[in-house]
Amino acid sequence: MTTEATESGDGLKELGEHYRSLVDGELVGWDAMRPFRKCLGVGGQGVVYLSERRGVDGFTIPVALKIFSPDRFTSPPEYSAEMARLATVASRVARIQQDHLVDVQNVVSVDGIHVLEMEWIDGYDLRRLLTPDAYGRVREQVTERRWQTINQVVMTEGRQQPRLRPGTAASVIRECLSALSAMHRHGIVHNDIKPSNVMLKRSGNVKIIDIGAAFELENRPPVQPCTPIYAAPEVLEGQPGTPASDLASVGYLLIEMLSGEQPFSGMSFAEMLKSKRSVFDWLPGALPVEEFALTEPLLRLLHGLVDPNPIQRFPSAEEAELDSGGVAEFQRELVQAGVTSEYEAEIRHWIDEVEAEFELRDPSDEVTRDFLPPTRVFNPPSE
């Protein structure tokens, strides 16, 4: 036997010993570094970076890291307690594994600062997509025929920003409700549904992201962060968030997508609360006159989402999606009216066109900070 063959045999024997030692040890560990590649967003809870998980032989996979700031807390113990609560929520969300809900992968602490590791989603959030600039740039580049299709099926001009056509908006909302239904079945309230937390993937599918404000129903936080213009009226009044308050947030998001206008933007707190309490008075006028044929089913759906009384909303996200008056019924009415389309494919093409024809500003220029409404913290009354 040659020296080379002997060395090869000895090397395999050594590898085999390493393998058996690893398997028998019932534990494996390795270094885990996460370089920051881009800033994806800045908000009231901290900052989100694009990073990557590195393996051997050039293996890499992108991930998103949310780093939680201690600045809004009054003491280190208060920060640590909230982070421990969040880690418990994250662990439960990680086990849900729902197609339209962000995959949570880990929670770690670095020098006492907590970091949430999540999947990186290949796409864009609604806040970045529904801008006049993105809409106008696409118009400059696509053919007239394609532009007509976009305006008839996907999106068209709205009051202040582009608005989604009802079929596309319903497709987005249905997948949001599917994700929320899974969270609610596991006893978790998302508590911060808004355009910047709804991602459209290149595949045309929707993902709800950012569980930083989520909580377990049986373990509510002492303070409750939310984004006021998308928060249910009872949350603004200091009541704890519930699955029903998540539905109200979905409803406000739907109104914005359909109208091309955030109905509560620029209002004072008192004006906002009054407007949400009187939503049925102004809601019919918020819907575009071009969608008159669909006004009745849209109002029926919206009533079940944004009723000022949470008891009068849909009993659950699942029923908002599937039951009478819900999104599925609205989509069936679209079919009967002959105005349905392959919305998932249309969304996929639209995202490709947005990216190809309009360079969305690099995340590092704090585009998310500019667009995000302020997050506020409300103290639920003690029971």
Query: Per-residue pLDDT tens for 220-269?
Result: 888 788 899 999 999 999 999 999 999 999 999 999 999 999 999 999 99
Over residues 124-183, the pLDDT tens digits come to 999 989 999 888 888 888 899 999 999 999 999 998 999 999 999 999 999 999 999 999
- The pair phi, psi for residue 61, each rounded to 5°, is -145, 130
SS3 assignment for 63-84: EEEEEECCCCCCCHHHHHHHHH
Q: Give the pLDDT band of residue 18 (cuts 50, 70, 90).
A: confident
Q: What's residue 4's pLDDT?
A: 61
CATH homologous superfamily, domain 38-119? Phosphorylase Kinase; domain 1 (3.30.200.20)
User: Which of 84-93, 297-306, 372-381 shows the lowest per-residue confidence on average (mean pLDDT)?
Assistant: 372-381
**Between β-strands 46-54 and 38-43, what pairing exists: parallel, antiparallel or unpaired?**
antiparallel
- Within a 10 A sphere around the Cβ of 73, how many other Cβ atoms? 16
Cα gap 200→208, rounded to integer Å:
9
Q: Does domain 123-378 have CATH number 1.10.510.10?
A: yes
Q: Indicate the domain borders of the chain.
A: 38-119, 123-378
pLDDT, mean of residues 81-106 = 95
Q: Give the pLDDT band of residue 86 (cuts 50, 70, 90).
A: very high
Question: Please, what is the end-to-end C-alpha distance for the chain in angstroms?
Answer: 82
Q: What's residue 376's pLDDT?
A: 54
